Amino acid sequence: VPASAGAEKLAERKVRYLEDGHKGAPDWMMDQIGYGFGGGYRLSPVLRGRPLVPGKVTGPVRRLCSAWGLNRIRPGDIVVVDQVEPSWLPWLVQAGALVIAEADPLNSAASLACACAIPAIWGASDVMHSVRDDLLATLDAEQGVLDVDEAEMVDSEPGETN
């Protein structure tokens, strides 16, 4: 029996398969590593980007790292994104504001913000590593500033208390 088919190697593969099934698709696990899940990132109270669509919005921050998080977006959230698939737009239209990591004119989120007049900034390059979900923030899209209140958490689910 080759070493790749040994009992120990097969057991490792089964465990990895079960972990993948529990945590999500492998690309989701890569997102977890790439975006610093687990508290390995440093919060920044003020983030700057370039104005895209003017407006001022206060609400909870919702980082969207992959399609797995689309169902967590609630109306009025300040949604923080990097790469966006066009199929995500029906969920993103609920956002009170958008913070886009790149300044790419072909980004679907940028097009949505312009078309629907959703206050937005873009080119906030380190934003995915510098905010945490459910923190209360104010986006001043005219100035290109996201001001995060590190002490103020918003309930994750309606009816829950922190």
Sequential pLDDT tens for the chain (162 residues): 566 667 777 777 777 766 666 555 555 444 444 444 444 455 667 789 999 999 999 999 999 988 888 999 999 999 999 889 899 999 999 999 999 999 998 999 999 999 999 999 999 988 888 888 899 999 999 999 999 987 767 665 544 433
User: Closest Cα to residue 95, out of 67, 68, 116?
Assistant: 116
Residue 66's pLDDT is: 84
Tokens of 14: 């089964």
**Residue 152 contacts by C-beta under 8 Å, 6 or more apart in sequence?**
135, 136
Q: Which tokens is 100 given?
A: 């886009």
pTM beyond cutoff 0.75: no
Amino acid 157: pLDDT? 53
- What is d(CA 132, CA 61) in angstroms, rounded to the nearest whole number? 7
Residue 47 host element (H or E): strand 46-48
Q: How far is CA 27 from the centre of its chain?
A: 15
Report the C-alpha gap between 149 and 70 in whole angstroms.
23
DSSP assignment of 64-77 equals E-SGGGGGG--TT-
Distance CA 39, CA 22 (A): 20
Question: In 54-132, at which residue ranges do the beta strands (DSSP E only) sit?
Answer: 56-64, 78-81, 97-100, 120-122
How much is the pLDDT for 128?
85
For the chain, how many residues are written?
162
Terminal-residue alpha carbon distance, the chain: 55
